[in-house]
Structure 1
Amino acid sequence: MENGTDRGTERDAPPSRGAGNGEATEYAAAGRIPLAVVVVDRDGLVSHWSRGAHRLFGTVKEEAIGRSVADLLPVSGALPEDDDGTAYPDDDGLSPGLEASLGGLSAYPAAGRARINGSGDGWSDAPDGESEYGAERLDILWWAYPLVGAEPARLLILAADAARLRMERGHDDEVDERISPGFARHTELPASDELARRLPDILPNMGPGLSGRIISQVLELGYPVLEFSQCDRVPVTPDWGVPRRAGRHRSDGQPWAAAKQIVVPAGAEHDLEYVAVRERLEFLNEVSTGIGSSLDLDATIREVTSAAVPRFADFAGTHLRAAVLAGEGFPDGVPDVTTVWHRVWVEHNDEPGRWDDTVPVGEAIAFPEHTPFFQCMSTGEPVLIPLISEEMGNRISGEFEKRDLRPLINGRSMLVVPLKARNVVLGFMVLMRRPGREPFDAIDRTTGAELAARAGLVLDNARMYTYQENVADTLQDSMLPQVAPRMAGCDTATRYLPGTRLGRVGGDWFDTVKLPGSRTALVVGDVMGHGLKSAAMMGQLRTAVQTMAAMQTPPAQLLRNLDDLARRLGETYLATCLYAVYDPIRGELQLTNAGHIPPVLVRAEDGRSELLDLPTGAPIGVGGVAFETTVVRVRPGDRLVLCTDGLVEVRGVDIGEGLAALCESAAHPAASMDDACDTIIRALNTHGGRKDDVALLMARLNGILADDVAEWQLTRDPREVARARRLVRAQLLHWGLADAVDTAELLVSELVTNAVRHATGDRIGLRLVCTDALLCEVTDGEPDLPALLGAGPYDESGRGLRVVSRLAREWGASVAGHSKTVWFEQPLTPPRRER
């Protein structure tokens, strides 16, 4: 069943054929035939008679104006009567008569079909004494629109020749096709705005008031449409490529669309039809079950391309838009000559290497406009070339620079089918058959289009999955930190495992934060739930922890602030968190727990592992529960293991078993930190039922030797600045860091000078810590943090911190109690490794 709008205009030239000669006109195309336009006033008299009406009914405009429409359109009763008075039904059932339309229409349009004689009263005004079609019985399709308003015009009638429409569509008596008129609202048709603009073209010589009135009511009531219902026996052969009927010719106006006439032996169509149709259905069914076995885009592309060879074609090449191949969002707009396509896969049964140099896989190319490939991708419709002649092959090949396609395409049959999803072209397939094989025909065009339609949906599913994976990976990567493997006094290693492949974004996180005094904050957290919402919560909480840690907030107070923040953000914000601060100089850990599983500490002295006994606390977001800080003494070489419950908790298994396995695997000796993490993951990630995310953070607590730390107490005397420079010089020379002396002296001098000028206490602390970099800290009794100011050419101050910012690798300031510490870190060349 097919619906199409009859959008022919009355300006078409008169047809060149005589009545019943069966010759096609030169100007008419499919879906375009002349319309007769008639306007009737309230008295039933004709007030407008178009040239299309003259051609159809034979009466000239001068004779029709002012006459009764019943005389000019002799349709009486619901059924036209035959010569003997018997009611004559048309092919499509009963239709209301025109007289009934004139007498009863008030608010709704009407449509009908009637057969009337081509001679009679009122038709003798034609130039030859009768209508254009002589005295034959005319098969008329008509539509009637009631016109509401103050003007005298009451009814708009449109009429068309159904017999001519049948012949324009290329059908003869062998085809049982029924044509029914009807109406469709403008919202039901594509390009309805264009149809509205064309209505004035079929209403010439009318004033703007009347034509505007007619157009507005047509838009409200509906467009004329034709419904075609056809039943046709299709002769085929098992070797694909036979046209729908022997001798049938059809062209779509393109130079590569000429059909090849193939003769089918008499009687063969009845024996072979079932076999061929079944073969095509089986082919499409096998393709549908064979492609899309995975959501991997590359695998899907190979499956789609390989499905066509050799059963349907001898060559198949698949091209996709760059956005689709990259797993980006859904491509926008219609492809044009600037659109870049990637040849992603080629399958053929020719000799190896025949296609590789000319059409290599992986090539990115923009296709020229005057090629069948561009026609397919721009229109979204299949393009069929039954046989590529030498002239056509030269023309197609000439559109490509430095590429001779003629040896590959000349003499072959080509079918280019679009790969679409949601009416957007994602790519296209080029299908070709060898010269010795039956060429593609209209049935193959339909089969190829169906193959491409199914392949397009599968490719779009794979594209969406790839896109969602990329989004999830990008989001997860942006949420998880890039932890430095080596920090002052400790080495770290991390692992993150998504819970499921289809949900790669979760709420587990880990973090390390560099703190003043060579200290390091170690954090592991787990937001309740899974998916994007949990990931968004995790990002907010992680940012808050980083900010408070950099401000040297004590561990218990930090979790208290985080709990308050979670409750302000919403009732659904629930998370567990373990926060630890490692001081490598003092050799101690400060730990605070908010409902998280306890960490494991592996002692370097004897290799023994233990779960640290910490106050459990309540999860973040519960509120009203105090958090306590526990201090644990550690020695150089000890390892701290923090993880989320996804590693140790499996449905149906007691969590105590998971914690015991964690202790055992953490104590296993390993050559490196990464190996130690992998050992833990392998030991605990054996259960197939794990669906939660896993975050693992391991830190080896190396400590800092006392010989690598130097501390002095200075007074608030300007002369102490020179003393500070001497102390720094002597200490760096003692450490063998002569290359760092000049820069360190200058920077220490600036910080001590600021402390002498602006501090309120009597004492100033100076400390140097030497690891793989040089850390310098200046502490005074003024809690106000220094500010980086702009200094003009004549300003006497404001340049000290600018010098520090320019020469130091990092610098910062923090407040603890009633004092502040300003620090800078200076790189060492070459780096001095910790001992």
Structure 2
Amino acid sequence: MGTPNARPDGRDADEPWRLPAGWDWALVDHLLGRAPLGMALMDTDLRCVWLNDTLERGGGIPRAKRLGRTLGEVLPDLPAASIEANMRRVLASGEPLIDLEYRGRTAADPEHEHAYSTSFFRVDDPAGQPLGICYVVVDVTDRWRARRRMALLSEAGMRIGTTLDVARTAQELADVAVPGLADFAAVDLRESVLRGIEPAPGPVPGDPGLRRVGQRSARDDPRESYARNGEYVPVRADSPAARCLVDRRAVLEPVLDPDSVGWIARDPEVARRLRAVGLHSLMVVPIAVRDRVLGVAHFFRRGSPEPFEGDDLILAEEFVSRAAVSIDNARRFAHEHAATLALQRSLLPHGLPRQTAVEVTSRYLPADDRTGVGGDWFDVIPLSGARVALVVGDVVGHGTHAAATMGRLRASVHTLADLDMPPDELLAHLDDLVMRFVDEEGRGEGGLDTTALGASCLYAVYDPVSRVCTLARAGHPPPALVRPDGTVEFPDLPAGPPLGLGGMLFESTELELPSGTLMVLYTDGLVESRAHDIDQGLDLLGVALDRPDRPLDDICATVLDTLVRQPPEDDVALLVARTRTLDASHVVSWELPADPAVVAEARERTTRQLADWGLDDIAFTTELVVSELVTNAIRYAAGPINLRLIRDDSLICEVSDATSTSPRLRHARTSDEGGRGLFLVAQFTQRWGTRYTAGGKTIWAEQPIAAA
């Protein structure tokens, strides 16, 4: 072996290659022949001139076939071109290359891909001239697989569960698994999970009603899947999916042989698809949390010849375990979001009430799923005297608390509006109620809840007889007014503090609006977003409100298309009203002296006016109401008395005086000589009540006139 031209194995050296001069084979064999690492020596032409026993076993090629040949000639399934290029660089520069990693297959284990770490250094003769290359090879497959597994798990942690959306999370699971773990992955969930319902605990026998929610293919081959996303996926009785749904344990089918695997052989369609596509290995993992099965995940191999192994199943279970928690969180969020949305919708008006003061339409856009349902609301409230209240409000925050708080505030506004309070007084009372809400929550077990604190509200009352609109706001954006000539303005109303701060005053502003004026009330989600600030939003709103004579639905659509990105970042409430006027043909009034003799005159004037209006059928009832109300004013009030009749959808009778004493309905006893007046008014009218004015009060009563 020490002869320069003899092979290390002792065979005849008369071959087409020659050993390079300067090699001391005895020394090489003595030092490296039994080394536990794979080692080889290559000449300057990168042909193998020596290798040890470890490398011979690791490559699976006999020594006699490797000597005198290049790496690419004997191991074509390795990246030989890249490896030899690195050898040439080391040979030329003399700089060693340490720990070059690559993957490939060798004759020793042609069915599996291995990872190797190789180091190269140049071998020189005593004169410093290169004799060749020495390289050292270590099989690092286990290290590479562990590192790859950690990388895949890290990727899964970052990519699975990025949103609170069930379908998106299922698709993320499939995306992470392909191509790192499988060539095709499919995720099927129970329909109840997609509806946000928590499944019952325990096994799932029979067909659980699965839907394909996510899938991913490394080759984008539609033949790999027998269901598209959203389609029903049947579960065959003896399939791996059925088994794992029952015992909640993952199933590994290393080899999918259509001829030998029973559940495949019994289903010709599945067997045909497997043969056509080449799917040859399968893992099925139940998606489960807290003993509840949400669905199953399928993983197939097709391109790589290696079947799935136990380590692959462990990795798949890790993926699915992380996805299951995220899917369940998304399911719970979807359930709570649906409940909150249902609560919010139940608390918002389902239809705008009938009234003639304004033509009105509305839109409500909930925020997207990432933000959640908010507490915006709007209302149209008919008031006495044919007036109408227009309301928009916004509760800070999102979720169930915001929706519930919105419902409480909306109910409170209705109650205060029924008392016919001026807008500034109504907001003052609402401010007190919000402080009470916060105080009540602070005394509860859940601690302080400030959801209602900082809520905003805009309250406007429009009178179609006087054409005066009275407005007040509590920390809310001003309305937009569009005059009939198209002029857009945002009136400079006193801002007022948000609700719940206390100790500050609210002020009202009166504006006279001609018939046909547009009043646009909205929440800040319409004019404020990440794309633009509120000033830009108001400018855009003004542009969208051109041509005010258009149908209100068209105006709403234009406003939303111009200002709101889909889905909206915040809830948007929009209320658009066009004012109307009740002219002299619908309203009459008389000022009466405080003399009992005038009661008969009031009845006579009323009768004549009802005849002019064609309302003779309710003349008797109206005479009775007028008589009682005027008599009550003469007896208990002071100053001039005003009688006004308004013909609207109903007949409204109003009697005003200069005192603030409120009448009280009571039941007279048999022996009483009086006390039955307001009781009779309440019996013969549809509604009645009292509202206070700056100069006194007005008692009003309404009678339906539809039949007449």
How far residue 706 of structure 1 moved from its aligned partner, in angstroms, is 4.6
Asked if the contact 1:725/1:745 (under 8 Å) is kept, the reply is no
2:70 maps to none
Shift in CA distance, 286/622, structure 1 to aligned 2, threshold 3 Å: closer
Q: Deviations over 1:210-233 (max 9, x none)?
A: xxxxxxxxxxxxxxxxxxxxxxxx
For residues 276-291 of structure 1, what are the structure 2 equivalents within 5 Å?
291=160
How far residue 752 of structure 1 moved from its aligned partner, in angstroms, is 4.6
Q: Secondary structure at the match of 2:515?
A: coil
Residue of structure 1 aligned with 2:539, choices 651, 661, 669: 661
For residues 336-485 of structure 1, what are the structure 2 equivalents within 5 Å?
336-337=204-205, 339-347=208-216, 354=223, 359=227, 361-364=229-232, 367=235, 371-387=239-255, 405-408=270-273, 413-422=281-290, 424-433=292-301, 437-464=305-332, 466-467=334-335, 469-471=337-339, 473-482=341-350, 484=352
1:325 maps to 194
Q: Distance in 1 between matches of 2:224 and 2:407?
A: 51
Q: Deviations over 1:130-171 (max 9, x none)?
A: xxxxxxxxxxxxxxxxxxxxxxxxxxxxxxxxxxxxxxxxxx
Shift in CA distance, 578/322, structure 1 to aligned 2, threshold 3 Å: same
Say which structure, 1 or 2, has more relative contact order (CA 8 Å, 6+ apart): 2
Q: Which amino acid aligns with 1:819?
A: I
Please state if 1:587 is matched with 2:467. yes
1:545 maps to 413
Q: Deviations over 1:531-560 (max 9, x none)?
A: 655554333222100122234333343223
How far residue 521 of structure 1 moved from its aligned partner, in angstroms, is 0.4
How far residue 625 of structure 1 moved from its aligned partner, in angstroms, is 4.6
Q: Distance in 2 between matches of 1:349 and 1:648?
A: 45
Q: Secondary structure at the match of 2:324?
A: helix
How far residue 589 of structure 1 moved from its aligned partner, in angstroms, is 0.9
Q: Secondary structure at the match of 2:372?
A: coil
For residues 80-479 of structure 1, what are the structure 2 equivalents within 5 Å?
273=142, 291-292=160-161, 294-309=163-178, 312-313=181-182, 315-326=184-195, 328=196, 330-337=198-205, 339-347=208-216, 354=223, 359=227, 361-364=229-232, 367=235, 371-387=239-255, 405-408=270-273, 413-422=281-290, 424-433=292-301, 437-464=305-332, 466-467=334-335, 469-471=337-339, 473-479=341-347
How far residue 414 of structure 1 moved from its aligned partner, in angstroms, is 3.3
Residue of structure 2 aligned with 1:640, choices 519, 527, 544: 519
Please state if 1:602 is matched with 2:482. yes
Determine what percentage of the aligned residue pairs are the same residue: 33
Q: Distance in 2 between matches of 1:471 and 1:238?
A: 58
Q: Distance in 1 between matches of 2:645 and 2:554?
A: 40
Q: Distance in 1 between matches of 2:564 and 2:419?
A: 37
Q: Distance in 2 between matches of 1:435 and 1:694?
A: 51
Q: Which amino acid aligns with 1:319?
A: D
Asked if the contact 1:665/1:679 (under 8 Å) is kept, the reply is no
Superposed CA RMSD in Å reads: 5.4
How far residue 582 of structure 1 moved from its aligned partner, in angstroms, is 1.0
Q: Distance in 2 between matches of 1:272 and 1:629?
A: 79
Q: Distance in 1 between matches of 2:303 and 2:342?
A: 50
How far residue 564 of structure 1 moved from its aligned partner, in angstroms, is 3.0
Shift in CA distance, 388/517, structure 1 to aligned 2, threshold 3 Å: same
Q: Secondary structure at the match of 1:580?
A: strand
Asked if the contact 1:658/1:684 (under 8 Å) is kept, the reply is no
How far residue 622 of structure 1 moved from its aligned partner, in angstroms, is 4.0
How far residue 674 of structure 1 moved from its aligned partner, in angstroms, is 5.0
How far residue 587 of structure 1 moved from its aligned partner, in angstroms, is 1.5
Q: Distance in 2 between matches of 1:430 and 1:241?
A: 23
Q: Secondary structure at the match of 1:522?
A: strand
Q: Distance in 1 between matches of 2:200 and 2:178?
A: 31
Asked if the contact 1:776/1:824 (under 8 Å) is kept, the reply is yes
Q: Secondary structure at the match of 1:316?
A: strand
1:491 maps to 359
Shift in CA distance, 373/614, structure 1 to aligned 2, threshold 3 Å: closer
1:117 maps to none
How far residue 635 of structure 1 moved from its aligned partner, in angstroms, is 0.5
Q: Which amino acid aligns with 2:299?
A: L
Shift in CA distance, 239/486, structure 1 to aligned 2, threshold 3 Å: farther
Please state if 1:554 is matched with 2:422. yes
Q: Distance in 1 between matches of 2:172 and 2:489?
A: 53
Q: Deviations over 1:416-440 (max 9, x none)?
A: 1112345543211133456995443
TM-score of the superposed pair, with normalisation by structure 1: 0.50
Asked if the contact 1:563/1:623 (under 8 Å) is kept, the reply is yes
How far residue 371 of structure 1 moved from its aligned partner, in angstroms, is 4.4
Q: Deviations over 1:71-113 (max 9, x none)?
A: xxxxxxxxxxxxxxxxxxxxxxxxxxxxxxxxxxxxxxxxxxx
Stretch deviating more after TM superposition (751-760 or 485-494): 751-760
1:630 maps to 509
Q: Secondary structure at the match of 2:500?
A: coil
How far residue 650 of structure 1 moved from its aligned partner, in angstroms, is 8.4
Please state if 1:621 is matched with 2:500. yes
How many pairs were matched up? 521
Q: Deviations over 1:579-600 (max 9, x none)?
A: 2111223322122344544434
2:124 maps to none
Shift in CA distance, 372/240, structure 1 to aligned 2, threshold 3 Å: farther
Q: Secondary structure at the match of 2:465?
A: coil
Q: Secondary structure at the match of 1:636?
A: coil
Asked if the contact 1:483/1:512 (under 8 Å) is kept, the reply is no
2:393 maps to 525
Asked if the contact 1:318/1:429 (under 8 Å) is kept, the reply is yes
Residue of structure 2 aligned with 1:564, choices 407, 432, 435: 432
How far residue 725 of structure 1 moved from its aligned partner, in angstroms, is 12
Asked if the contact 1:785/1:813 (under 8 Å) is kept, the reply is no
Q: Distance in 2 between matches of 1:376 and 1:395?
A: 14
Q: Distance in 2 between matches of 1:785 and 1:533?
A: 39
Which protein has the bigger helix share? 2
Shift in CA distance, 524/406, structure 1 to aligned 2, threshold 3 Å: same
Residue of structure 1 aligned with 2:372, choices 504, 525, 534: 504
1:52 maps to none
Q: Which amino acid aligns with 1:586?
A: S
Asked if the contact 2:412/2:430 (under 8 Å) is kept, the reply is yes
Asked if the contact 1:394/1:406 (under 8 Å) is kept, the reply is no
Q: Secondary structure at the match of 1:570?
A: helix
